[in-house]
Structures are given as structure tokens and as C-alpha cells.
A and B are shown apart, each in its own frame.
Chain A
Amino acid sequence: MVASHQGLAQRVSDAFWRRPRLLLLVLLLPPLLWLGVVYVGSLFALLVQSFFSIDEFTGLINYEVTLKTYAELLQPANFDIILRTTLMAASVTVAAAIVAFPIAYYAARYARGPMKALFYLGVMLPLWSSYLVKVYAWKLILAKEGILNWMVEGIGASAVLNAVLSMPVIGGGSLSVSYIGTFLVFLYVWLPYMVLPVQAALERVPQNLLEASGDLGASPGQTLRHVILPLALPGIIAGSIFTFSLTLGDYIIPQIIGSSRLFIGQAVYAHQGTAGNIPLAAAFAVVPIVIMGFYLWMAKRKGAFDAL
């Protein structure tokens, strides 16, 4: 009875109190709209495009649902691109995990005070400077007449470098035009995304478990394998999701460093635009989504998310 005499704000407040779900709806509506329309909507528009095809003769888009464009992905030249990108992403991820683990372990278990600050600074600093600047800097470092080659020559190891570069597939004229160069730059650029989650996971490993393992007679190696690694796995998986998906989608690094062979991102860029082959570009864009979906599914099966 009293409520009817009160102001609008009061009545709205009462309505929310009586129907908690209404409040929830009002609060969730803006982010849901954002996610639904802007995020999923654009993704859906892309997916739809990939089911159309391009007319062989006129170059116009044929708006009939077909799987023809996906079949085109299996053509050798296109399949090469998918394989190349996935292999690169996988090797970058494995290498990043191997390099990041000792760094993260030291930072989580041993570094104290100023050393810890230095660690955070060291890992974060590269993230503060522009991505492009870092990639261009690496181009200069890896160049044939760059500082790395000069150093290698200085210590008389040119023969070793040349032997590495003369290997088929991964070799090339110089580090900067070979897959090794592309790999090194990817590794450098995405490493912080692996170090930080691994470090966070390692910090949560309780000290008393390690002590118990030692008391029960486990060697340090056994403790690492059976206690630390399993407990740090969620961190490694989280990091690997970053490094893997970032490498899958990147189209700038392979354009500046490497042998000009295309990666998925570059293929998408090349097919839209003047070529007007939006269906094929969309089909290419779906590939990383599928690969990542598969990857997450595998990670879940391996129990990587159990600890979350």
C-alpha cells in the first residue's frame, strides 16, 4: 500500500527485490548483447561466408550453401599453409614450455626481494614495447650482415651455423629468411605468456609436499616428475593455449621474418580484398577455431582443467 506513494526509483528497487531474476537480467543484458551481437554475431557472419563459394568464371560469390570452399582447403597449396602454421605453433609452444619452466621455477621458488622484482621486470619489459619494434629489431639481429652472424663469425662457429642453415625445410639463406628465424622470433615474442602462468602455478605448489616427497626417499628428479610437474600442468596448459593460439593467428611475424611462405593469417589477408575470395578467406579463418577447439578438448581430456 505504501509503495504506491513512493518514487520511481523506490518502485524499481522493489520490483528487483521481488523478482531477483529481473535484476540479474538487467545486469547481464549489456554484456550479453555485446557478446551475442558483436562477438558471436561477427563470428557467425564469418562462418556463414565460408559455406558460400566463388564462381570459377565470373569471380562472383555464389550464395548457395556448399562445402566446396572447405574442399579447397585440402588442395596441396592450401593444406601446406595449414600444416605449416600448426607445426610452427606446436613447436613454438613446446619450446616455450621448455624455456619458460626453469625461469618460472627459479622465480617462484628461489627469487626473493629485488631479484623477484627484477624477474617481473625482465619478463614484462618486452610486453611494454611495441610488437612491431621488437620484430623489426629481430630482423636486424638475424640478418645475414647482422649482429648474431657477426658474433658467430667472431667465435669461429660459422661452419656450425652454415650446417644448421643447410638443413632442408627449416634452413635457408640466412637466419632471417629461414623457418628457424621465424621460430626464434615467435618464441621470443610469446614467451612471457608462458612464463607468467607457469610461475603462478608453481607458486601454488605447497612446500610441504616437496618436503614429504623428499622424506619418503624420492630423488629430486622423481619429485620433479611426480609432484611438481603434475601440479604445474594447469599453468603449462594455460600458457600453451596462449602461445599456440597466438602463433596460429599471427600474420605479421612470418611476413617480416622467414621465407615468405604463407601462414594462415596471411592467407586470410590475401584472399579477401582485391581477390574478393571471401569464402576461402572465411574457411581459412575457421581452421584455427577448429584446431583450438580440438586442442582444448584434448587438454580437458588430459585433465588439465581439473585443478581450475
Chain B
Amino acid sequence: MKKVLISTTILAFAGAGLAQAQMTEVGPGEGQLDIVAWPGYIERGETDAAFDWVTKFEEASGCKVNVKTANTSDEMVALMNEGGFDLVTASGDASLRLIAGKRVQPINVDLIPSWSTVDDRLKDAAWHTVNGEHFGTPYMWGPNVLMYNTEAFGDSPPTSWNVVFEEVTLADGKSNKGRVQAYDGPIHIADAANYLMFHKPELGITSPYELNQEQYDAALNLLRGQRELVNRYWHDAFIQMDDFKNEGVVASGSWPFQVNIMQGEGQPIASVVPEEGATGWADTTMMHVDAPHPNCAYLWMEHSLASNLQSDLSVWFGANPSVPAACTDGRGMQTAEGCTKNGLDDFEKIKFWTTPVSSCASQGECVPYYRWVSDYIGVIGGR
């Protein structure tokens, strides 16, 4: 054990030394680039020929792109800890862990000409900027929207999350009981906190990810009431779509991904970011502290902001580009209407996902994530 401790300490110091060293110039590519990414994030036209943002990069830079997909943030962190990769498309719950663990290096934005085109609201986002240093380039972001069935809601589309948190009678005259869903992950507690933040200001919630015991209990109580309304929680995007089609579900928190697919199938589906705002995710391309191919990595970061990637990926994934111009300048298939549909205009209403920790900025001590997990299991189990 002692030996392990010593070697980790040495590693940590070595990491700290390296973390300070920013690159100062981008040389010619090393011929290869290894990226850890979410499934569907790096497409080379093999899934669908129309969606390809790798081939041109490989031709221009000579860097052969290898992708290792990861299904959870934990997998991403584990792969980056293992090493041997250049880049990772980290979400807000992984990015700060990677920075704290010194697995990623600060990047020199002067070496990325398209940095200036990045959405100003994302340039200094807290999930990739620490002490003024940028630990990556913004990749994609998206909201968790309220998806609903337009036939059930008729002429009065929902404007509040109350349709999934409290029992109400819908426009078709029937109760919402048994006809709504909620996300089957502890992070859904944040959605409840977000709802309370708007409707119960006396609780003093300032961030749905930083809850003290009292605020946390209020959120859990709201979710216990929700359990009475929910027949099944959703976990898998495709199962949720099936439940909307075959199980009579009419409203649920969801991703633009499902909304786009179901609208494409001609289903009576629409979505909204309600008055309370919504939670959401934002991913960052981060560079490993010991990246074996740093020049290719910088070339890719530039490519990820400058090419058709931002535009086409936004269509492919139902997400929003980090470069707003990608919606309108015709570099890819995305259009201004498409971006609006994906929620580009709702940025201010989105509380981006971060991992709840016990020592939180807003109020000293908060309920940490592992308790979110065990308590949410209890809520689903009817406790």
C-alpha cells in the first residue's frame, strides 16, 4: 500500500510539472490521432455516408484518426487514466475530474485559429476553465427538453415541468398519472431541484447540483410524489421512443435526439424548454497530459471548430454547435431553424451538468453524488 501511495505521489508531481507546459507551436502531424469519444460523435461516413467529418481531416493533416468509444463518463475517465490517448470528448461530470486528476493539459488557444469563432458563452465555461486556463475546446452541447405528445396536449402545449412532477389533468380530459416518464438516473434529482428553484424560492437553491440537506430532502419529496405518476423510468433512448408510441406515454424529460427521430417518423411529438429552464450537457475536447501525438491533436481541435463537423454533427446528434456560425454559414447541413429546434436559443435557461460534490462553492457543504445514487434507488423503489 505504501509503495502504491509513493508511486501515485510521484505521478501526481510529475503530472503537475507537465500540466504547466503548454505547447507554443504546432508542428507537422505525427500521422496518427487517438480519440476517446461518445458513440456517434466521430463519424467517417461508415454509419451513414452523408455524415463524415474525419476523411477530409485525414487527407489534409495526414493524421489517421482512431476512435475508442465509451458509453459512460466513468469509462472515459478510466481510459484517460490508462493513457495512450490524445483527446477525449468529456462531459461536464468528467471534465473537472480529469483536470483535478491532472490527466489533461491546458491548451494554448492562440494555436487554434478558430477559437475566436467559439460561442462567447462557452469560451470560459467553468467545466473546462480553471484559474483562467483552458483545458480544451468546446465540442457540442444540448438541453434536456420536455418532450410531449401534441395530441394529448391539444391547443395548450405544456409550459412547465409540473406535468411530469405533479398530478394534473391534461387537455384530453385524462389525468397524467401513468402517462409520464422520468429519467432513470440519479441526476434526475437535479431536475427536481431545478423545478423547486423556480417554484419554492424560500428553499434558497442557487444551483440544482449543489443542494444542502434541506433542499435535497425537498427534491426527494417531490420525486416521491412523481413516483406515483410514473409507470416506468426511462434509461435507453430507444425504449423511451417505444414507450411514447406503444405505452401511451405523453410527456417526459428527454433529449432533442429522440424528438428529432420521432418527428422524422411523423409522430405527433414536440418539445419545449419550460419556464423553469432545464438541465443540459456540454462536452469538451480535452487533450491528454502525455498525448503521444500533440500536433495532430491541435490540428483536430482546430478542425473540430472550423470544418463541417460542428454543423453536421449537430444534425446527426440533435445537439448544438459550439460555433454558432455553423448553424448559418452553410459549412454543413445544419440550418438556423435546425439549431433553434435543437435548443440553441435556450442557452441561458440551461443548467449544465456537473457532478455534485460534498464541498460545494455555493454553500459549504452539499449532499455528494453517491448519496444521490442510493437515495434515488430508494425513491424508485417507493421509499
Contact = CB atoms under 8 A, between A and B. Distances in A.
A241 B378 CA distance: 29
Interface residues on A, range: 35 or more
A54 B370 contact: yes
A143 interface: yes
A59 to B, nearest CB: 5
Interface stretch (A10-18, A113-121, A171-179, A194-202): A171-179
Interface string A96-128: 000000000000000000000000000000000
Contacts of B178: 173
Contacts of B239: 139, 256
Interface in A144-161: 144-146
B2 interface: no
Interface in B337-383: 355, 357-358, 365, 368-370, 372-375, 377-378, 380-383
Interface residues of B, number: 37
Nearest to B73: A274
Contacts of A140: 242, 246
A92 interface: no
A185 B117 CA distance: 53
B369 A274 contact: yes
A276 interface: yes
B233 interface: yes
Contacts of B374: 77-78, 271, 275, 277, 280
Contacts of A273: 72, 74
B229 to A, nearest CB: 10
A168 to B, nearest CB: 12
Interface string A28-71: 00000000000000000000000000100111000100000000
B78 to A, nearest CB: 10
Contacts of B72: 273-274
B232 A177 contact: yes
Contact of B358 (A59, A77, A80, A280): A59
A195 B174 CA distance: 45
A255 B235 CA distance: 8
A145 B231 CA distance: 15
A261 interface: yes
A172 B178 CA distance: 9
A172 B370 contact: no
Interface in B74-97: 74, 93
Interface string A256-300: 101111100001001101111100100000000000000000000
B358 A57 contact: yes
B232 A259 contact: yes
B247 A143 contact: yes
Contacts, number: 103
B246 A275 contact: no
A206 interface: no
Nearest to A276: B370
Given A260-B233, A274-B93, A277-B370, A81 B246 contact: no
Contacts of B382: 80, 261
A78 B375 CA distance: 10
A260 B380 contact: yes
B247 A77 contact: no
A301 B370 CA distance: 42
B184 interface: yes
A20 interface: no
Nearest to B75: A273
Contacts of A220: none
B248 interface: yes
A274 B231 contact: no
A150 to B, nearest CB: 11
A63 B1 CA distance: 10
Interface string B178-208: 1000001010000000000000000000000
Contacts of B377: 77-78, 81, 262, 267, 270
B230 interface: yes
A201 B170 CA distance: 58
Nearest to A258: B232
Interface in A222-272: 255-256, 258-262, 267, 270-271
Nearest to A272: B74
A180 to B, nearest CB: 13
Contacts of B184: 255, 260
Interface string A196-217: 0000000000000000000000
Given A174-B231, A271-B373, A80 B246 contact: no
Interface string A69-92: 000000011101100100000000
Identify the interface centre among A84, A140, A270, A274: most chain B CB within 10 Å of its CB: A274
A77 B355 contact: no
A131 to B, nearest CB: 15
B93 A260 contact: no
A138 to B, nearest CB: 12
A255 B186 CA distance: 15
B247 A174 contact: yes
A277 B369 CA distance: 10
B381 A81 contact: yes
A217 to B, nearest CB: 55
A139 B241 CA distance: 12
A177 B231 CA distance: 6
Identify the interface centre among B72, B73, B377: most chain A CB within 10 Å of its CB: B377
Contacts of B247: 143-145, 173-174, 176-177
A77 B381 contact: yes
Contacts of B365: 57
Complex A-B, nearest 8 residue pairs according to Cβ-Cβ distance, in ascending order: A77-B378, A143-B246, A275-B373, A260-B233, A177-B231, A173-B231, A173-B178, A77-B383
23 contacts: A58-B358, A58-B368, A59-B358, A59-B369, A76-B383, A77-B383, A140-B242, A143-B247, A145-B247, A173-B178, A173-B231, A173-B248, A174-B231, A177-B232, A255-B184, A259-B231, A260-B184, A273-B74, A274-B369, A275-B370, A277-B370, A277-B373, A280-B374
Interface of B: 1, 72-74, 93, 178, 184, 186, 230-233, 235-236, 239, 242, 245-248, 355, 357-358, 365, 368-370, 372-375, 377-378, 380-383
